[in-house]
Structure 1
């Protein structure tokens, strides 16, 4: 049984539709077809054509497959621009990550319909929509994601008060350790370090 015949039997469509669907699933290897068609069943909606259902399913399948491979350590983007292209294609109108780069952990970054990165914690008072990141902040987030690819698509909802309490607790612990041994090397998270630097600047003013 060739690929077209397999599609015909799996979806109960004629040869013309099978050829059209075959074009939509070109990125998938023959060995993936059974797994994909099982995945596709969750996308079936009343009054939708087999072609549209397949198109939506292929889109989600490719995204899921990439993210699972990254999580399993089987794949990593080798170029920053390739990662950016992936995000802009597969994350439009979706949340992308939480707490990247210099952002607090309770801040969620998303992608708008135009593929711009947006801050779901900062709302534009005029439009009522999340604010778009500046060019510099967008580059910073992408560079951070390139180094931390396992965080792509991972979302955690963290209360702001919880985050601040955790950082204050870490700073308190550092203070106590310094009192015991001022020269001891002390590990510190990026978030707590930023908080400490901000506190230092305010003291100097």
Structure 2
């Protein structure tokens, strides 16, 4: 039995679809070796929803699998982007609606940058007047992409910092010497005014 047929058999059983449909799905994952089929199957199971079509589940699973495989290759240094434009195209395709990175320059460590549904970078720590993530202007987006191109290993690296940790982080960064420090009013507002002042860090 050839590899495509083996993949199709696996997908037919997993998705409970006719063999002809499974063969179409198997062609979609021609670049994924049969040895990794169980790993890919986990993406299908995780993405499955009762009202979602099986074709859509497979398509989303392929995109997510390839994104994570590329992230792993980038982090290991075996497959870096050769141009910023190539990286931007890849990010826009694979990170649409997802978080991309936290703390890229010129933003603070706790700021998470994502990609909006329209492909533009958004600040997932700031909302516009309609309660949507605020898009970055062209200059800010290019600054983030320039930083990301120089730090490709950070693509997909997102660290969530709890709001209660922010005042302490801000104060330590400002004080350094244990002096009393006043937290920036904007930061206090953004975290719901949890702490307006931190004394003697």
TM-score (norm 2): 0.73
Measured after TM superposition, the shift of residue 78 of structure 1 is 1.8
Match of 2:85 in 1: 81
Structural RMSD (CA): 2.4
Partner of 1:36: 40
- Contact 2:100/2:155 (<8 A) preserved: yes
List gaps (5 residues or longer) in structure 1. 174-205
* Cα offsets for 1:124-180 (capped at 9, x unmatched): 12x12122111110000001011111221222223432332232244x49xxxxxxx
Map 1:17-166 → 2, pairs under 5 A: 17-46=21-50, 48-125=52-129, 127-158=130-161, 159-166=165-172
Indicate the larger mover: 45-54 or 88-97. Answer: 45-54
Residues 100 and 145, structure 1, Cα contact 8 Å, conserved in 2:
yes
Distance 1:44 1:132 in 2: 30
Greater share of residues in helix: 1
The alpha-carbon deviation at position 40 of structure 1 amounts to 3.1
Q: TM-score, structure 1 length as denominator?
A: 0.72
Larger Rg: 1
Q: Distance in 2 between matches of 1:91 and 1:160?
A: 26
Q: Could you tell me whether the CA contact under 8 Å between 1:121 and 1:130 is conserved in 2?
A: yes
Q: How many equivalent residue pairs?
A: 171
In structure 2, list runs of 5 or more residues that go unmatched: 179-201
How do residues 160-199 of structure 1 correspond to structure 2 at under 5 angstroms?
Answer: 160-170=166-176, 172=177
**C-alpha contact (below 8 Å) 1:4/1:15 kept by paired residues:** no
